[in-house]
Structure 1
């Protein structure tokens, strides 16, 4: 008697729950830590950077460590990473260089965070709600390689993947903008106080193309009334 076994292979693919362009006045809410919920931002181009300013608004009550912003290239998964530790430390990773900052602890209140870096002097500065940190130095004379992948909600261990639920973000994030130069103190303060400020030259929250996967809520944040 012949016995036939039929093997059924089931392939699970996480299809985008949302794709589009433009997130003006919208927030991304990640209700829980997961290993498959994230939003990929797709700028028109991303050249090699010898300076940048990255700004965003975020809130999280998660007391564990997580990635707040992840940019990975084929050369390094931590090409540009904002990493929040379980204490009040917020680190900027530039490839294999870590520049740590002790900043006010994250909580349920939305806050505006900016970080800038320039290659010539290696100067790194954080801003929280328009208030400047002490300046530090890192990756002097180097660059941030272009052509990588931008992810919100997860920390990349490989380009576009390698996610770990323990390192995922749970909370709300909005107004993510990336410039290819260092903004002035006046410009950063203006950006931190305005809902209608000029978007970044590389990532412009109001026009950016994006794809969202998993459990991500995209909704009006109602922060601006006009």
Structure 2
């Protein structure tokens, strides 16, 4: 991207706030207001920490970025436990170990130039798949945790909602190295997120959502 960054090294847990969605609903969610505007991406790294007791025969939305007509960037846990990435078209799937009530660190990387996409769980990398080569994630959308918007900010369905704990949701407009992602899992951040920074991003709560402070 040709951008330069001030490099920080932060030790310990980076999560200052934790989003708790206590039960299945079609009304509870958090909207994230990004630092980077417009929200146009040719590459990204998206990371979060997730814990949920929802298991089996239930799809779960983990992250949704929706423009007026497209699911620009959606991350799901499918009914069979696979993770899926949607970039405005049919998804690419990743077979990963099932995660549940114990917190897991999850990262997703994608690069338009090569189409390379990969998943990291607790610092361990999946195989790389080629997906949406030459695509651009378009601007003008809204970022939602907890619901899958079938319209610009609506059309929520309770059986697709997230229930559990999400924190440390960070996003960069580049693909971080494998080592950087492994360090993030261990609580060490070397590059400040320039799209979504969990420490400073505005969170707009709706419904029965609790945002609590946790010890750093």
Q: Which runs of 5+ in 1 are unaligned?
A: 1-22
Q: Which runs of 5+ in 2 are unaligned?
A: 1-13
How far residue 112 of structure 1 moved from its aligned partner, in angstroms, is 0.4
Structure 1 pair 142–57 and aligned structure 2 pair: CA distance change class (3 A) = same
Aligned twin of 2:53: 61
Q: Which of 65, 71, 87 is the aligned partner of 1:71? A: 65
Please say if 1:166 is aligned against 2:123: no
Asked if the contact 2:52–2:100 (Cα under 8 Å) also holds between the matched residues in 1, the reply is: yes
Q: Which of 47, 50, 53 is the aligned partner of 2:39? A: 47
Farther-moved stretch of structure 1 (186-195 vs 202-211): 186-195
Structure 1 pair 196–218 and aligned structure 2 pair: CA distance change class (3 A) = farther
Alpha-carbon distance in 1 for matches of 2:85, 2:19: 22
Alpha-carbon distance in 1 for matches of 2:17, 2:164: 14
Asked if the contact 1:91–1:99 (Cα under 8 Å) also holds between the matched residues in 2, the reply is: yes
Asked if the contact 2:21–2:163 (Cα under 8 Å) also holds between the matched residues in 1, the reply is: yes
Cα RMSD after superposing both structures = 1.5
How far residue 105 of structure 1 moved from its aligned partner, in angstroms, is 0.9
Structure 1 pair 86–130 and aligned structure 2 pair: CA distance change class (3 A) = same
Q: Which of 86, 93, 104 is the aligned partner of 1:100? A: 93
Superposition pairs of residues 136-155 of structure 1, within 5 angstroms: 136-155=129-148
Rg larger in structure: 1
How far residue 24 of structure 1 moved from its aligned partner, in angstroms, is 4.9
How far residue 192 of structure 1 moved from its aligned partner, in angstroms, is 1.2
Alpha-carbon distance in 2 for matches of 1:208, 1:158: 23
4+ residue stretches of structure 1 with deviation over 3 A? 195-199
Residue correspondences, number: 200
- Deviations 1:166-202, CA, capped at 9 Å, x for gaps: 1000000000001111001111111111166654211
Q: Which of 29, 39, 48 is the aligned partner of 2:20? A: 29
